[in-house]
Amino acid sequence: MPDKRKIEKWNLEKIRGGFEKFYHEHNRYPTTPEIDIYPFLPSSRQLQRRFGGLPTLRKLIGLSGPTDFTTGEYGSKRALEINKRANMLEQMVYEYLIERFGKPFVHREYFFTDDRRARTDFFVYWQKGNFAVDVFYPKDKKNFLGCLNSKLRTYKTTQLLKYPVIFLMMNDDIKREQLLSIINNKKNKLQSNQIVMTYEQLKDFCQDKPHM
């Protein structure tokens, strides 16, 4: 994974390549929070300090389509829809986990490292071990594959491989059989302690795990 702290290694060509790679995987360019966790781009803070902001950078490297997703009708509607859905889904998962394990044993937005770069949505403590849950909502099967590949690159550091992680896919229109087919045909395989689940599979997984 590139060292985001060394901005001198990031020239415009490499930064453009990172944005285009994300676009190929997700069919859109990354937002600020996504830039911060994407291993093929420097941090948004570094980009702000060097280029004066993402809109300026996007114009500078010649990205197609809207260059500022934070303003205008496109940005406001898209941001509202994505944030509303993400908050609703994460809250639903959070409420289920604390109901099952107890609030003291479910950490929301858990950071694995002191620099706060390695994080997961939820970290759960239980009697026989701990596990992480990373929630995401792909819009379709192609987007699911792109999201999963991005997460596998993120979750390959030593800190993130210490504990089992559940990649929780929350789009009900993508069925378990489709997920299994995509995963089985992937060249870049999941680690033994990584698993993709639907919400119903998560509940089945947690059902036999006792409280602390």
pLDDT at residue 64 tops 70: no
Region of residue 72 (left: phi > 0; alpha: psi -120 to 50; beta: else): left
Q: Is the pLDDT of residue 8 over 70?
A: no
Structure confidence at residue 80 (pLDDT): 58
3-state secondary structure of 207: helix
List the beta bridge partners of residue 134: 167
Q: How far is CA 26 from the centre of its chain?
A: 11
110: β partners: 120
Per-domain boundaries in the chain: 7-60, 81-207
Q: How confident is the model at residue 102 (pLDDT cuts 50, 70, 90)?
A: very high
Angle between helices 199-207 and 72-101 (to 10 degrees): 20
pLDDT value of residue 115: 64
**Could you confirm whether domain 81-207 is CATH 3.40.91.50?**
yes
Question: Do 190 and 180 form a contact (C-beta atoms < 8 A)?
Answer: no
**Listed range (17-26, 36-45, 60-69) with the worst mean pLDDT:** 60-69
The 10s digit of each residue's pLDDT in 106-148 is: 999 888 766 666 778 999 998 878 999 999 998 888 889 888 9
161 pLDDT band, cuts 50/70/90, is confident
What integer pLDDT is reported at residue 162 of this predicted model? 84
